[in-house]
Amino acid sequence: MKKSDQAKIVSFSRLVSSAPGPIFDLLADPRRHGEIDGSGTIKSAQVGGPERLSLNSTFGMKMHMGVSYKITNTVVEFEEGKQIAWRHIGGHIWRYILTPVDDATEVTEQFDWNNSRSPLILRLMKSPQKNGVSIEKTLEKLVQNFNSLT
């Protein structure tokens, strides 16, 4: 990855007291994304979507950020138990990378806006900074609540 590409990735990691499998299962179930969402924008998965994500699967989410809306995502990276990422029409990617560490898993969440269709709008809206705060809140919810989520 080029250095310029890294500049457009907001990334934070936390250690979760679990093997990667159960964490990945949670991330691969779009119906459960709202349970760990630190942004407060995810309301629910749209009815009729997949129960478990896989490469190239699409899933819709009901969202609310000032106004309610629906967004369709496509899984663009998928390595069972290790990495999952999706993007929507805006072009940016939400990615989770799971790395085993002793009896735990380092969970890295990333907002990758290298391929965003509207980088200027993202900058003006301060999306990278706001998403960084949301990522930290998501990871904190995952760490604090993982045992009750599984």
Q: What is the mean pLDDT of residues 39-59?
A: 95
The whole-number pLDDT of residue 73 equals 97
Closest to 57 measured CA to CA, from 23, 27, 13, 101: 27
pTM of the model: 0.92
Residue 107: how many CB atoms within 10 A of its CB? 24
Tokens describing residue 71: 């967004």
Mean pLDDT of the chain: 93
The whole-number pLDDT of residue 44 equals 94
What CATH architecture applies to the domain 8-149?
A: 2-Layer Sandwich (3.30)
Domain ranges of the chain: 8-149
Helix (H) or strand (E) segment spanning residue 127: helix 127-149
| Cβ partners under 8 Å of residue 74, min gap 6 | 56, 57, 58, 86, 87, 88
Using 50, 70 and 90 to split pLDDT, how confident is the model at 5?
low
Buried b vs exposed e over 56-81: b needs ≥16 C-beta within 10 Å? ebebbbbbeeeeeeeeebebebbeeb
d(CA 38, CA 56) in angstroms, rounded, equals: 25
Tokens describing residue 102: 């002793």
| pLDDT per position as a tens digit, 83-135 | 999 999 999 999 999 999 999 999 999 999 999 999 999 999 999 999 999 99
